[in-house]
Homo-oligomer: A and B are copies of this chain.
């Protein structure tokens, strides 16, 4: 078995969301072994019981070394999970947030997940529009910064009920950012995203991909609820 040199980021963590379907050949013990091996290697693993046809289980992983993410993926495939969809990103501090205190920047680059008590989960990817009329990338920094600040204020009303983790994926996956929301209730997730849709930055410049919804649980809770 080769052990290639780790591949790390300049700063922050690699992130991958793996949306999986169960199969007839699923080996629960092997899933647990894969989970334990990842955790032992320092990888954060959030396990989510998903609802509907898109996936049965989602694993959101954060790791320093990209190879650790790939090994986990291979191990759960070996255990009989089918990785049907995914999202690849990295933790980041956006250009608009770069003047935050060092401690906050560190927290953004190294979030500790899942947050306690916020078990309702959704994920969606998004980009900023480059349309004929509304083109985010044609705006000045000041205009963009102003729209982002307004958006942040709008989101802040949900503090305590919603934790938002935005990871960057320009060049890495099909959209420019991945958004993972952790909420107290599923209708908190809905209210938060609906409310923010009226922010000018979203109304005029936000483009959204597919939305995935589920409930965070321990690995046992998730496997109990999704496998047979």
Contacts and interface: CB of A to CB of B under 8 A. Distances in A.
A85 B9 CA distance: 27
Nearest to A194: B170
Interface residues of A, number: 88
Contacts of A187: 9-12, 90, 92, 168
A51 B14 CA distance: 11
B66 A197 contact: no
Copies in the complex: 5
B9 A138 contact: no
Interface stretch (A36-44, A100-108, A211-219): A211-219
A214 B7 CA distance: 10
A74 B211 contact: no
B4 A203 contact: no
Nearest to A200: B138
A174 B131 CA distance: 21
Contact of A192 (B4, B134, B138, B171): B171
B52 A87 contact: yes
Given A53-B19, A204-B135, A186 B9 contact: yes
A31 interface: no
A55 B187 CA distance: 28
Interface of A: 1-2, 4, 7-12, 14, 16, 18-19, 22, 49, 51-54, 56, 66-67, 69-71, 73-75, 77-78, 83-88, 90, 92, 119-120, 122, 124, 130-135, 137-138, 168-174, 176, 181, 185-190, 192-194, 197-198, 202-204, 206, 210-211, 213-215, 217-218, 220-221, 224-228
12 contacts: A4-B215, A7-B119, A7-B186, A11-B187, A18-B53, A22-B77, A52-B86, A54-B86, A56-B77, A66-B120, A132-B134, A137-B203
Given A2-B218, A10-B185, 13 more contacts: A1-B224, A4-B225, A49-B70, A51-B66, A53-B83, A70-B226, A75-B228, A78-B228, A90-B186, A137-B203, A138-B204, A170-B194, A171-B193
